[in-house]
Amino acid sequence: GESVGLHLPTLSVQEGDNSIINCAYSNSASDYFIWYKQESGKGPQFIIDIRSNMDKRQGQRVTVLLNKTVKHLSLQIAATQPGDSAVYFCAESGANSKLTFGKGITLSVRP
Amino acid sequence: GAGVSQSPRYKVAKRGQDVALRCDPISGHVSLFWYQQALGQGPEFLTYFQNEAQLDKSGLPSDRFFAERPEGSVSTLKIQRTQQEDSAVYLCASSSWGGLALGEQYFGPGTRLTVT
């Protein structure tokens, strides 16, 4: 079946270091991808999105990379801060289809 | 500016009871989505409204689940005869875009439903 998944359940990084969160997707028809951040007791918060006609998109301290050849998505966070500690989800969709979320990875920032 | 709000934030129901969960989307947002999030999992799509029209309800797990958005703004998710497997966080999201996956969806804080 089609799925979106994350390679690692947890990621621990030192404050100030860069973080890389990876995601694999299996639906080759997917053309829209989003990263969400979810803090405890809150709903997911949009971080950055990318469409399949791009392979890289940058935001403030975040970069999303898309490799359609191997169906891989990554989120890079520069100079990770304690406030970045949360669960991160990748989500994907195809044309006019609902978002499918991955299982989530916990990012823990060590002071 | 107000974001998406949901009420109640927490709901405890005895098995067999009916519950109603409310979502107030961002004013003027065309699209409204309901998701179910089990502990440690990503949100799973339940249903989608464009204005008052329910265009996709393919994710509703059973006919005990019912959603409405009669005036194209506030939405209610109703679960009849709750079961323990219904325990989850129910998230509502809205978007200014029409369509299932166009544009950014803004999520509410969710309602945590516990069925005992």
DSSP letters, chain A, are: ---EEES-SEEEEETTS-EEEEEEE--TT--EEEEEEE-TTS--EEEEEEETT-SEEE-SSEEEEEETTTTEEEEEESS--GGG-EEEEEEEE-TT---EE---EEEEEE-
Q: Which is higher by pLDDT, A38 or A102?
A: A38
pLDDT (0 to 100) of residue A98: 84
Contact B44 A101 (CB under 8 A): yes
Looking at chain A from residue 88 to 107, which residues have their Cβ under 8 Å from any Cβ of chain B?
A: 89, 91, 93-94, 96-104
Q: Residue A28 — pLDDT band, cuts 50, 70, 90?
A: confident
B53-66 pLDDT tens trace: 999 999 999 999 99
A51-94 pLDDT tens trace: 999 999 999 999 999 999 999 999 999 999 999 999 999 999 87
Instruction: Look over chain A and give the mean of its residue pLDDT values, rounded to a whole number.
Output: 89
Is the confidence at residue A99, as pLDDT, over 90? no
Contact A98 B43 (CB under 8 A): no
Closest CB to B101 among A45, A89, A99 = A99
CA dist., res. A90 & res. A49, Å (int): 10
Is the sign of the CA dihedral B23, B36, A43, A49 positive or negative? negative
pLDDT (0 to 100) of residue B102: 60
Is the confidence at residue A26, as pLDDT, over 50? yes
3-class secondary-structure state, position B86: helix
| Nearest residue in B to A90, CA atom | B42
B17-32 pLDDT tens trace: 999 999 999 999 999 9
